[in-house]
Structure 1
């Protein structure tokens, strides 16, 4: 008997469940209708954000009008962090843009997926990103849904030269007393971001 027969339908159901859960969370949290991006067509279809708009395809895209931090990697990737917002459900959602500042097409580093075997089975993601609360001496990992899928943008595997992709990553929220955290991304310098 082929044990892999039901893997794709279960994975698709997991992705659909995660998208529905994030949509319900966004609806409950509200948000502004200002902001948006000229790069809206390149956004992840399930990206939550504090301030958001919808592109012509109905996809939710992060507000890119502000930048909390800019991280430059040695391989030509640049990561802009736009928001780090607490949600009512006890989550912290980080949104940003990954840019390929080089003139050649580049694959996203496999290390961004994270090292856990369960996460690696779910495909390309940003599950390797972590937050560090130095005051509380705690590290926070990207949240997972009930099927083990990371609550972050997925499918970012290749970015053309000069192009960019928006992303989100959802973490457990640090205590209210924590006003800033360090965002750690594999192969990239650590950056400190303020929580709104």
Structure 2
């Protein structure tokens, strides 16, 4: 008998050495929201530049429906090196329209994306904290578009 997935079947993990885990104390302020398929929504709660030249985007992936939702492997993108390391948000990109540049999720030395991994499914009206780490755009860049496969893009203000 197959067991019904629950919120506990989702095991988000930071991957790689030096990966920054999603914050344990989540901000409730929503800076941007990306709508996805099957009632999934990604709420962005923080965007932090660090001195090392990285930009960490943190938020919460929520199931807004009354049904269990499987998290699509399409969120991992189509790069072979990333998809071989489990379901993740590795397909996310930042688009700097003014600077005409696209930034991809960083990877560790083993090719694992520096983002939440091991995504499976979400129980009804449940969510999980997630993060994605990118190279930081220049300090003069004030906004970027966050894009995630199968989700609507959203503009994020940078400080």
Cα RMSD (Å):
1.4
Corresponding residue of 2:146: 183
Match of 2:89 in 1: 126
Note the residue ranges of structure 1 that are not aligned, 5 or more in a row.
1-14, 24-45, 48-59
Deviations 1:82-141 (A, max 9, x none): 111101100000001011001110111111011011111111111001000001000000
Structure 1 residue 63: Cα displacement: 3.1
Aligned residues: 145
Q: 1:167 aligns with which of 119, 130, 138?
A: 130
Distance in 1, matches of 2:114 and 2:98, equals 25
Q: Provide closer, same or farther for how the CA distance between residues 128 and 62 of structure 1 changes in structure 2, counting only shifts above 3 A.
A: farther
Partners of 2:76 and 2:107 lie apart in 1 by: 13
Inter-partner Cα distance in structure 1 for 2:54 and 2:83: 23
1:193 aligns to what?
Answer: 156
Aligned equivalents of 1:101, 1:22: Cα separation in 2: 28
Q: Counterparts of 1:1-196 in structure 2 under 5 Å?
A: 15=15, 18=17, 21-22=18-19, 46-47=21-22, 60-61=23-24, 63-196=26-159
Counterparts of 1:119 and 1:76 in 2: how far apart (Å)?
A: 25
Per-residue deviation, 1:177: 0.2
Report if the CA contact (8 A) 1:62-1:95 is conserved.
no
Gaps of 5+ in 2: 1-14
Structure with the larger helix share:
1
TM-score (norm 2): 0.86
The alpha-carbon distance between structure 1 residues 62 and 148, as it changes in their structure 2 partners (threshold 3 A), is farther
Report the structure number with the largest CA radius of gyration.
1
Q: Which moved more, 1:65-74 or 1:85-94?
A: 65-74
TM-score normalised over the length of structure 1: 0.70
